[in-house]
Structure 1
Amino acid sequence: MLPSLETITDDFAFLDDWEDKYRYVIEIGKSLPDMPESEKTAANKVNGCVSQVWLATSTGDGNDPVVTFRGDSDAHIVRGLVAIMIAALSGRKASEIGSFDAAELLKSLGLEDNLTPQRSNGLRAMVARMKEEAHAATNAA
């Protein structure tokens, strides 16, 4: 089961060493539910990521619908980053997703300075996609 964002944040507060944080990101990725192969489509693929990343979205009803994300990656560390973003954004109202500051989250977890430029770019692309999906859900309402 995927840990909550609060649990992830609390756990990161106890980790000082980058290697420990790296291992924990991989562990979080292992807790991400497997994405069905049927959802690993070109339409769900996140462009801008060096690794393969897929993101599927479900939306609720209303003017500010709740948006739920499912995701996966073929790289262990990236799968962990996908899991962290899903813990942070999935199950929130579209307006909350749109205003979410992912850079601040990464800074608070101590990840921003330790990710390679390629992983940082891929993560930004994934968050942008999540925000686009939330915006589209609002416009569809």
Structure 2
Amino acid sequence: MTDFLQIKGLTGELKVSHKKGPFGLTLSTRELVVQKPHMNYYILFEHIVSVVPCESVRMDRRAMAAARVARGELAFGSIAAGSRYYAVYAQEVVVHHRGGIHRTGPMEFRMPIYKRLVEELARYGGLTVI
């Protein structure tokens, strides 16, 4: 038995799927699915506020926001290229775990994302690269 849950009800057409170590990312033409052991997070593109680079998964949120403002970057509906680690901000997420499925409010995910996946996310998510 695998620790990863099977993706159920993927919205849109599957474009890219990648699993490495303790997490996986699946991208369709309409949503991003972040997979962790025993839990999947479904994020529709319309609920993604921004995808911004960060130094690592431990970078302080205030420092990242200040850096975005200093560079004059837009936060809503934008994606910035140039870093291996990204912070994905979503206003609504559907969480699927072994106990069931439920919706949650705003969430932030910090993770390494391969360049190809970031490019596909920008393309299908209608995000602007800045």
Identify whether the pair has TM-score above 0.5, normalized to the shorter chain.
no
- Between Structure 1 and Structure 2, which shows a larger proportion of helix residues? 1
* Structure having the larger proportion of residues in strand: 2
Q: Return the TM-score normalized by structure 2.
A: 0.31
Structure 1 length-normalised TM: 0.30
